[in-house]
Amino acid sequence: MRDGAVLDLKDLAKGKLSWESIRGDGRAQVIGGSAVGLVVLLVVLLLTLTTCGGGGGSGARAKDKDGEKAPEGPSEAVVAITPKDGADGVETSSGALKVTAAKGKLTKVTVADGKDNPVKGSLTADGSAWKPATHLAAGTKYTVDAVAEDTEGRASAKHATFTTFVPQNTFVGYFTPENGDKVGAGMPVSVKFNRPVSDRKAVEKAISVTADPKVEVEGHWFGDQRLDFRPEEYWKSGTKVTLDLNLSGVEGSEGVYGTQRKTVEFTVGRQQVSVVDAEKKSMTVTRDGKKIKTIPITSGSPAHPTYNGKMVISEKHPVTRMNGETVGFGGEYDIKDVPHAMRLSTSGTFIHGNYWTPKPQFGQVNASHGCVGLFDLRGGGDNGSPGAWFFENSMVGDVVEVKNSKDETIDPDNGLNGWNVPWEKWTAPQ
């Protein structure tokens, strides 16, 4: 542009002037604005021309990170959730909930109950379906969120809620030991049901027992209302055991459903095993593999011998009453103040203090009605007797093994005495 020439911005906008023609020594005359205004306007015009006429403008398709054109339009993947959104009275079986994807693969499925507890599940190998790992709880609202992608990577999502039914007929399991207990190494996990169970497989699947340190733990049924769990050998000292009861929604028998959802934790204090030799009339106490005491005893008489076998202490009583009529011995005895009594069987076998037998007979004569007696003083308490010592040094879950008695081996379900079942039989299908 010539010095002093007039710049008509309309000509510039119409393309009548080239950018080179407006370059000068700064003395150009501007119509309708100052030199600063010219600069601003030039920038605006430059952006306008670039946007309207340059490549990559608003009419161009976006590109992905590899420079390829991203697919346009909605995803072809179709997510389906069964039961339908808002459904009520849904069955609790694992097959009642299913998430599928057509024309695509599921990439994420989240299922949770009303308390935000997740429901575990798994995808099929081809990503076409997701199924829960176990049954659903009864009377519970669930939320399902699922995402699938088609072959072009486009996502499709679906959300649904539903509520399971509330059963009219229910059952529960009463468990031993209790949450927070500290027990001996022989304590099994025992669950007794208040109603008969016909579908043992479904109920056993809903109950798990795990240990830390890890050890294999298996369940075994005693009839249709009791299920016990134990490892092959006695628990190791310090083991932490967890019982998980996930019975809510489980159909134990036709039309009868579980209602419990509970976690129970207990600890094994130490491994104490006391071996009673009925023939030698003595008991040797071993703790964590170390012999700590030998005590003279009296066991069952020839007419009423003590059971053989491995028995677990299930109760402890500083003083209790023992009446022969309650265990089939008529009026042969009724002692109202038996000291330091610990139950070994449901049928009435105890290991307890004995103050009515002369002290010299302990270790010499078997004279009881089937119990194991230790010399003691009337009234119990910390009296320094063998009976008092053993009571103070025993806990629920400790093991008392009786051998060389003239009686048979105790039935494994007579108390917490499943250790008398060989491991091969314990783990065999029932």
* Residues designated as active site: 352, 371
Dihedrals φ, ψ of 246, to 5°?
Answer: -115, 60
Nearest alpha-carbon partner for 370 in 277, 298, 419: 298
Strands (E), 165-254: 169-171, 173-176, 182-183, 189-193, 207-212, 218-221, 226-230, 240-246, 251-253
Strand 207-212 relative to strand 240-246, pairing:
antiparallel
CA atoms within 13 A on the CB side of 34: 2
Whether the CB-CB separation of 98 and 90 falls below 8 Å is answered with no
- Tell me the C-alpha to C-alpha distance, in Å, between residue 340 and each of 274, 284, 352, 379: 16, 18, 5, 9
How far, in whole angstroms, is CA 112 from its chain's centroid?
A: 16
What is the spatial distance between Cα 315 and Cα 317, in angstroms, rounded to a whole number?
7
40 Cβ neighbours under 8 A, 6+ residues apart: none
d(Cα 326, Cα 318) in Å, to the nearest integer? Answer: 20
